[in-house]
Amino acid sequence: MQPWAIVVLSIVGAIVLLILVSSIKIVRQTDKYVIERLGGYLTTWGVGIHMLIPFFDRISQRVTMKEQVKDFDPQPVITKDNVTMQIDTVVFFQVTDPKLYTYGVINPISAIENLSATTLRNIIGDLDLDETLTSRDIINAKMRSILDEATDAWGIKVNRVEVKNILPPKDIRDAMERQMRAERERREKILLAEGQKRSAILVAEGDKESVILNAEAQKQSAIRHAEGEAQAILEVKKAEAEGIKLIREAEAAGLEMLKNAKVDQAVLTLKSYEALAKVADGQSTKIIVPSDLQNVASLATAVAEIVKK
């Protein structure tokens, strides 16, 4: 074999080997490959090693199956009350069918962006400015539902839509800031007035309770003072009654002693009188008459009264 033939065969073999090696494809876990043969859809490759037939098969689209996030530029929208504002959205989506994603629409990302812009204009057109600023959740839910339904034909699942920024015109923002400032000042004045009112009420209640407590204290003091005076008077009366009782007992005891003394004296006098009578009845020729015979008579009369009592 001629040397040049060997060189040609070597070159051809290297080319064939290079083509075979380049025909071997490894698909990763998160990717899908859409394969075409002679210009028509053939199959979709999943994870693993695959072999293309040279010159007949080709990879039409490499599709990632991970969730994707697209932040679209702000879109001008007009509210129901004719206020023009800029709103930008963030769309979270995931490819569910690589074939539909490849053949369903040209440039699916651009299609989603345009669809989200028109959907947003339709939704905001039914809301006024205040509702737009306070209805983010409603806007998000409506946009997600509409986009998810529209992108089913493209093999795309819209998981979530978020309104990122809502930018009204500068004059509207200035007016809103003035309104918010006025509202804050109004709330501040209301809170201050409420605080002063509450403070006055508390002071009045404190004064009222103080007066009531002072009156109650004076009342209790007067009651205690009156009770003390009554107790003192009672003790004095008890002492007087006890003194009167003692005086009466002493008088009774003295009277009893006096009675006993009178009786004893009368007895002695009577005994003397009896002795005198015996002497008179005797043999004696002389009779000595006591000088206090009259006293003896009065004493006898007293003894008789005492005996009667």
In the chain, what percentage of residues exceed pLDDT 90? Answer: 17
Beta carbons within 10 angstroms of residue 125's beta carbon: 11
Quick one: 90 and 143 in the same domain?
yes
Residue 56 lies in a domain: yes
Read off the tokens for 97: 């069918």
Q: 135 and 151: one domain?
A: yes
pLDDT value, residue 90: 92
Same structural domain, 27 and 108: no
Contact 115/72 with Cβ under 8 angstroms?
Answer: no
Number of domains the chain contains: 3
- In this structure, are 83 and 31 located in the same domain? no
Residue 293 pLDDT exceeds 50: no
Same domain, 117 and 157: yes
268 domain-assigned: yes
Same domain, 163 and 86: yes
Question: Is there a contact between 69 and 91 (Cβ–Cβ < 8 Å)?
Answer: yes
Residues 59 and 81 reside in one and the same domain:
no
Residue type, 161: V
Q: Which of 168, 202, 226 is the last residue of a domain?
A: 168
Classify residue 107 by its DSSP letter: S
Domain residues for the domain of 105 are: 68-168
> Residue 72: its pLDDT value, please?
87
Q: Give residue 303's pLDDT.
A: 44
Q: Are residue 76 and residue 164 in the same domain, yes or no?
A: yes
User: Quick check: 94 and 65 in contact, CB under 8 A?
Assistant: yes
158 shares a domain with 93: yes
Phi, psi of 53 (to 5 degrees): -85, 115
The pTM (predicted TM-score) of the whole model is 0.55
- Least confidently predicted of 49-53, 116-120, 130-134, 154-158: 130-134
- Of 149, 168, 187, which closes a domain? 168
Q: Are residues 87 and 149 in the same domain?
A: yes
Let me know if residue 12 belongs to a domain.
yes
Per this entry, what is the length of the chain? 309
Question: Is residue 244 assigned to a domain?
Answer: no
Residue 285 has pLDDT above 60, yes or no: no
In-domain check, residue 107: yes
What CATH number is associated with residue 152? 3.30.479.30
Domain identity same for 100 and 155: yes
Whether residue 227 is contained in a domain is answered as no
Residue with token string 């080319």:
15
Among the three residues 11, 29, 64, which one is the final residue of a domain in this structure? 64
Domain shared by 123 and 142, yes or no: yes
Instruction: Please answer whether residues 157 and 93 qualify as being in contact, where contact means their C-beta atoms are separated by less than 8 angstroms.
Output: yes
CA distances from residue 229 to 235, 242, 243, 244 in whole angstroms, order as listed? 10, 19, 20, 22
How high does pLDDT run on average in the chain?
Answer: 80
Rounded Cα gap, residues 145 and 160, in angstroms: 9
- The answer for residues whose C-beta is within 8 angstroms of residue 173's C-beta and 6 or more apart is 167
Q: Flag whether 261 is in a domain.
A: yes
For range 257-268, the mean pLDDT: 55
**Beta carbons of 81 and 47 less than 8 angstroms apart:** no
Q: Give a yes or no: residue 294 inside a domain.
A: yes
Per-residue pLDDT, 158: 92
